[in-house]
Structure 1
Amino acid sequence: MRLEQITYFLSVAEHGNITAAAKSLYISQPALSKQITLLEQEVGLPLFERQARGVVLTQAGVQFQKDLQNILKELEHAKKNAVLAGRAQKPLLNIGCFDGSYADDFLPSVYDYLKEAASGQKLVIHKCNFLEGHEYLEKGKIDLWLTLAPSWQDRPGFLKKKIAWRKGALIYSEKLQVGKKENPTWEDFKDETCVLVKKSQNPGMFQHTLDTMELIRLDEGTIEVVENIGTQISYVKLGRGYCFLSENIIHGSKGLRCISLPGERGIEVVAVWSEKNAAVTNLMENYPI
């Protein structure tokens, strides 16, 4: 299988039409059809189901698309590091951080500290989801993983340090019916939908949210599951429900409101790294909390 064939397959999958895909790739339709046929022969299974107006992925094709997209992402990651390593005379310090503006309250201070404390290294930030961050850390693709405490399960061989704490809150939009109230209470949200990031992406945060719902007696309400924090926040802004995040998320977000959670209910932000990485251990031991 060649990289060219991967590109061809993904283009056809995206367009759902071989003719449209061929046009976007600047090759002839027969040539593209032939490459797809050769690829299916190599895999040993049909990847597309031919229909009158185009093609749709088979079940095998859906899985193949997902795996190839991950491979291309890995290739881009390798290319990025190779380019940076080639340009930089300093060794790289790869830092992984969960994606979205939800990291803006702590990431700049961590970056400033490391920029000064590790002045002999070039810092590279990799934005990734929780599953990717765990995988990249375990495989040594990043040196330091910045994440939410409930998302990380302690395991041998890794060290952890608290770098920030966030006061938890119920986040909602003025577009909700209850959002029109001046001072809504927990009880007002019992008929609204709670938006959660799906359990497979972050089991710890999923359970943390369920525990919070039980704490304030909203655990019998409706739940809608989404792919990531970015989508979660977008849904809340659109008035599709509420979510549990930190109070800081509403800063600068027009139309968002919050109700602080009771007591010390909140979430720690932690840095995680391999205990074998003595240089990072030294850096994080001296990080001011």
Structure 2
Amino acid sequence: MEIRQLRYFLAVAAERSFSAAARRIHIAQPALTRQIRALEESLGVQLLERQARGVTLTPAGEAFVQDAQKVLNSLDEAKSNALRTEKGMRGELRLGVTVMLLWVNELSVLLKEFRRRYPNVMLKLNTMLSGPQVVALQEGVIDLGILIFPPESADFGRLNIYSDHLVLVAPDDSPMVKNPPRFLADIKDYDFVWFDRENSPNYYDRLIGYFNQHGFVPNIVETGNDSVTMLSVVNSGVGCTIVPSSTISEPPEGLTVLELEDLKKLSLDLQLVWRKDAENPTLNHMITVAKELLSRQFVVAN
């Protein structure tokens, strides 16, 4: 049984005539007749009653009409799905992002607009720190990273979607709240909560290097895996920490956010990062949407 035979049969069933069906599907009537007979032989049943003024469907033919149409509909849908997937209209896009950055408005706008345009694409958000994101990109585990200070590599494409800066966070009862520091050097004698370098090597090195340039060598007394953990440690009364301002727009009870002149000067660019050699139409659509939003100033351009 061939797909074309199903289409031929449905044409004959609809027209109730071999000659009319032959004209409709642009095939010679003898050839059409041979194909229908071949179909009946392959099925082992008679589908049509040949009569002088046309044809009628046998009971088997009546039942086969419904099933044949379902088969063709399924094939058409499969073809459509394949084409849509090839064009990035469906499928999935795997993203890496740190938990706290999910609340950045510019990122929320981007994801919302992408979902609006491509409702059949599943966005799989994987919460991970910057270091693991870079590894996941290199190994093809994720398609797109969303991070700050990605490594300088010609293998990656980048697009800035938001610019942030760092802020100092301390417990409400800390002496620095009563006498706010202005510069990084002013907090060198305070205990400091930070994160392990292995979690985000490039981010760690950039910030520690910047701190040192401004007279601040942090006295790290405790570490946390991410901003949420570090803030929790500080809230328990251990030292102070520094985090992106977007991660603490509304300070938890018991914590105070302080602005330092040095930190305001260091721009933290939240970037979309992807492998340049990636062949993924869905990824290309996401980048296109981001660029369009940038041009419309829904997100901050670099």
Normalising by structure 2, we get a TM-score of: 0.57
Of the three residues 218, 222, 225, the one matched with 2:219 is: 222
Residue of structure 1 in register with 2:53 after alignment:
none
Instruction: Give, in angstroms, the shift of residue 188 of structure 1.
Output: 4.5
Larger radius of gyration: 2
| Residues in 1 aligned to 2:267 and 2:235: alpha-carbon distance in whole angstroms | 21
Residue of structure 1 in register with 2:132 after alignment:
132
Q: Indicate conservation of the 8 Å contact 1:173/1:237, yes or no.
A: yes
Unaligned runs of 5+ in 1: 1-88
Q: Secondary structure at the match of 1:200?
A: helix
Residue of structure 1 in register with 2:115 after alignment:
115
Q: State percent identity of aligned pairs.
A: 15
Q: Indicate conservation of the 8 Å contact 2:181/2:260, yes or no.
A: no
Summarize the Cα distance change of 1:154–1:242 in structure 2 as closer, same or farther, 3 Å threshold.
same
Unaligned runs of 5+ in 2: 1-88, 295-302
Residue of structure 1 in register with 2:8 after alignment:
none
Instruction: Give, in angstroms, the shift of residue 225 of structure 1.
Output: 5.0
Residue of structure 2 in register with 1:264 after alignment:
265
Residue of structure 2 in register with 1:281 after alignment:
284
Of the three residues 243, 246, 250, the one matched with 2:244 is: 246
Q: Indicate conservation of the 8 Å contact 2:131/2:202, yes or no.
A: no
Summarize the Cα distance change of 1:202–1:266 in structure 2 as closer, same or farther, 3 Å threshold.
same
Instruction: Give, in angstroms, the shift of residue 166 of structure 1.
Output: 0.2
Q: What are the residue-to-residue correspondences of 1:180-219 with 2, within 5 Å?
A: 180-181=178-179, 183-186=180-183, 188-219=186-217
| Residues in 1 aligned to 2:235 and 2:107: alpha-carbon distance in whole angstroms | 23
| Residues in 1 aligned to 2:109 and 2:187: alpha-carbon distance in whole angstroms | 35
Summarize the Cα distance change of 1:214–1:132 in structure 2 as closer, same or farther, 3 Å threshold.
closer
Residue of structure 1 in register with 2:91 after alignment:
91
Normalising by structure 1, we get a TM-score of: 0.60
Query: CA RMSD of the aligned region, Å?
Result: 2.5
Instruction: Give, in angstroms, the shift of residue 197 of structure 1.
Output: 1.2
Q: Secondary structure at the match of 2:198?
A: coil
Q: Indicate conservation of the 8 Å contact 1:98/1:133, yes or no.
A: no
Instruction: Give, in angstroms, the shift of residue 269 of structure 1.
Output: 0.7
Cα deviation 1:34-69 (Å, max 9, x = unaligned): xxxxxxxxxxxxxxxxxxxxxxxxxxxxxxxxxxxx
| Residues in 2 aligned to 1:163 and 1:190: alpha-carbon distance in whole angstroms | 33
Q: How many residues align?
A: 196
Summarize the Cα distance change of 1:282–1:140 in structure 2 as closer, same or farther, 3 Å threshold.
same
Summarize the Cα distance change of 1:117–1:215 in structure 2 as closer, same or farther, 3 Å threshold.
farther
